[in-house]
Amino acid sequence: MSQLHLINHPMIQHKLTIMRDKETGSKDFRQLLKEISLLMGYEVTRDIPLDEIEIETPICRMTAKQVSGRKLAIVPILRAGLGMVEGLLELVPVAKVGHIGLYRNEETHMPVEYFCKLPEDIDDRLVIVTDPMLATGGSACDALAALKKRGCTNARLMCLVGVPEGVERVQREHPDVDIYLAALDSHLNEAAYIVPGLGDAGDRIFGTK
């Protein structure tokens, strides 16, 4: 069974509180999402393996550590997942970036895939899938299924806010994928929005309605 990691660092919680406030505008919302994504990235990549190499400092030679040859990819679920990419790229600037496009059918609340573009060697990479909201879990599960269909064998799901319903669905359908959240909220309302949540993340990132 996959693990749920709740990243409750005080600075993440502080920034998330500002994001939840309905008076926070798109500019600040985007900046805070970038900052939280960078902070969460430290935990998502905490167990990346290291190699030992020989280097020479200005003082002497030494054995030092560097990230091993294992490759990383960041795959946002369009469109809101794009808001988490920049922060992760600041942490891991050599990571490749793929994209998966899904939209939610407003009547059925089910995701529909309309775009998928991934690095050619996706089967050789640790993939971090990003989406600010883990609501029903439908988009996340479909995105993970699309990745696996194209050869991905090592993925992690990084979201800002989730609810038990979404977590349970991802763990049921993808028991090999760990989930990273900054907050686990109460439930979904009748429109399948997270409560208390922070509204529609995509609209708040890009200033749309």
Residues designated catalytic? 104, 108, 200, 203
Alpha helices by DSSP H, listed for the chain, are 10-20, 26-44, 85-91, 138-149, 164-173, 201-206
Locus of tokens 């996959």:
2
- How far apart CA 91 and CA 128 sit, in angstroms, is 13
| CA 93 remoteness from chain centre | 16
Q: Virtual CA dihedral for 33, 34, 40, 41, nearest 10 degrees?
A: 150
